[in-house]
């Protein structure tokens, strides 16, 4: 598809950014089913957080256009073909991953209302409802805001400027892929839905990875693209689960045990490569030091904050200390990756563990220095659960720049989880 011509020709009418409820990350659906089972009545609020406050989203994006896109998403429902894909396909070696009761609910699902308000040069965008309803706003809301920002910049460009822009961006992606082709037994998945340049661009990047990496391309987190391109849908679980479980804890003892209750519930439902530990929500070291005896048997670990090499070394020592062979364990790196870091980590850990990569924003939105005033550079925009049943959520992370929550609660969590000194890392995307 000629993306530049499509962009140029669709300036005159509303072009939906999200056209399907499964234009979302696979892990959101896995987590949604878990929440549907274990916390069906929990009330959760999600909120947009622009970490890059120098990007004035409310000045760049027209409020009416944003509302039009969000209202369109609220009208979407699961199509028959999408339902058949989720009900009948094999995911992670398992048929009927999604249970009939969950699918019956999802087939009748519509996203709940949103609250949008301009505050200065930013938007306050929140979603409230039962957890399994409100959580499904996260990915489409982020994708809409990222793409509307892209459209605002692209709308000032002429036809040939657009042609050259996309030619340069395609060349950049392909040159990155060429650098990865020589890596032995490399496994890389597309994790770039939430902060992509656009749906069409993410789809193009997936096709480029399919052709350029062949068997080295593990799949995509995007369910709709996985269905259309017949590749694996990839994803396990995210920080949202321990954040909400922790907020629901009534005592410090319950708080300390809440991350492990998340994994106990997950273990009751999933096996194999879906048993991936995400240890950094409240600090990796403390989490691993207090982990129950059954957790080292899990398949692997995802490193998503802090120094990725240091995180992998901690994981290797932890497995060794508990009688596990790290060479049989999977380590998934997924924090702010680009080609140089992928190559570096692959060289350092290949053969010591099974190495895999979730390549996100700098795969699907690397337009740095390609537009006037660097107007298309990616930035850090997130949508997080901020309260559960009226109680504030907290995230500590292995990178203090990613911490979130009320200051008094952050200090309480640091005490309960015995969080030691941390090294700050720049949050690029």
Percent of the chain whose pLDDT exceeds 90: 93
424 domain residue, yes or no: no
**pLDDT digits 0-9 by tens, 286-344:** 999 999 999 999 999 999 999 999 999 999 999 999 999 999 999 999 999 999 999 99
423 domain residue, yes or no: no
Per DSSP, which regions of 203-348 are E strands? 217-220, 276-277, 300-303, 330-333
Distance CA 270, CA 38 (A): 14
Distance CA 414, CA 429 (A): 25
Contact 206, 364 (CB under 8 A): no
Q: At 207, which CATH number?
A: 3.20.140.10
- Cβ within 8 Å of residue 245, ≥6 positions away: 258, 259, 261, 262
**pLDDT digits 0-9 by tens, 146-189:** 999 999 999 999 999 999 999 999 999 999 999 999 899 999 99
69 domain residue, yes or no: yes
Range of the domain at 42: 3-417
**pLDDT digits 0-9 by tens, 109-137:** 999 999 999 999 999 999 999 999 999 99
Over residues 220-245, the mean pLDDT reads 97
Distance CA 259, CA 245 (A): 7
Count of structural domains within the chain: 1
Percent of the chain whose pLDDT exceeds 70: 98
168 domain residue, yes or no: yes
298 domain residue, yes or no: yes
218 domain residue, yes or no: yes
What per-residue confidence (pLDDT) applies to 5?
80
What per-residue confidence (pLDDT) applies to 428?
67
Distance CA 201, CA 225 (A): 11
What pTM does this model have? Answer: 0.95
pLDDT at 13 over 60: no
Mean pLDDT of the chain: 96
Contact 304, 278 (CB under 8 A): yes
324 domain residue, yes or no: yes
92 domain residue, yes or no: yes
- Cβ within 8 Å of residue 275, ≥6 positions away: 236, 266, 267, 298, 299, 300
What per-residue confidence (pLDDT) applies to 14?
66
Over residues 356-380, the mean pLDDT reads 97
Contact 17, 143 (CB under 8 A): yes
């Amino acid at each position: 598809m000629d993306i530049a011509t499509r962009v140029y020709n669709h300036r005159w009418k509303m072009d939906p950014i999200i056209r399907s409820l499964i234009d979302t990350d696979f892990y959101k659906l896995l987590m949604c089913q878990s929440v549907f089972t274990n916390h069906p009545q929990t009330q959760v609020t999600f909120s947009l957080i622009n970490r890059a406050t120098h990007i004035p989203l409310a000045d760049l994006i027209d409020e009416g256009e944003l509302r039009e896109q969000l209202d369109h998403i609220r009208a979407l429902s699961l199509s028959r073909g999408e339902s058949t894909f989720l009900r009948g396909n094999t995911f992670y070696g398992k048929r009927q991953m999604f249970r009939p009761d969950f699918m019956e609910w999802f087939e009748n699902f519509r996203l709940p209302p949103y609250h949008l308000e301009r505050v200065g040069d930013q938007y306050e965008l929140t979603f409230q409802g039962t957890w399994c309803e409100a959580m499904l706003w996260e990915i489409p809301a982020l994708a809409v805001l990222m793409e509307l920002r892209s459209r605002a910049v692209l709308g000032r460009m002429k036809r040939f400027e657009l042609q050259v822009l996309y030619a340069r961006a395609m060349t950049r992606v392909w040159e990155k892929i060429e650098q990865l082709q020589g890596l032995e037994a490399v496994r890389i998945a597309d994790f770039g839905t939430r902060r992509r340049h656009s749906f069409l661009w993410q789809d193009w990047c997936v096709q480029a990875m399919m052709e350029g990496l062949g068997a080295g391309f593990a799949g995509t987190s995007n369910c709709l693209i996985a269905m259309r391109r017949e590749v694996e849908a990839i994803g396990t679980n995210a920080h949202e689960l321990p954040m909400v479980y922790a907020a629901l804890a009534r005592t410090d003892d319950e708080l300390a045990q809440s991350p492990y209750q998340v994994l106990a519930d997950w273990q009751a439902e999933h096996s194999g490569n879906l048993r991936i530990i995400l240890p950094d929500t409240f600090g990796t070291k403390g989490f691993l030091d207090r982990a129950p005896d059954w957790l080292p048997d899990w398949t692997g670990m995802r490193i998503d904050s802090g120094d990725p090499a240091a995180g992998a070394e901690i994981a290797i020592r932890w497995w060794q200390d508990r009688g596990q062979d790290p060479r049989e364990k999977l380590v998934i790196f997924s924090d702010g990756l680009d080609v140089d870091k992928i190559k570096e980590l692959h060289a350092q850990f290949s053969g010591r563990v099974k190495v895999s990569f979730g390549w996100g924003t700098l795969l699907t939105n690397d337009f740095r220095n390609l537009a006037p005033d660097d107007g298309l550079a990616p930035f850090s925009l997130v949508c997080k659960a901020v309260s559960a049943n009226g109680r504030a959520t907290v995230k500590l992370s292995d990178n203090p720049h990613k911490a979130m929550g009320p200051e008094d609660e952050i200090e309480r969590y640091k005490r309960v989880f015995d969080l030691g000194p941390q090294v700050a890392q720049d949050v690029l995307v």
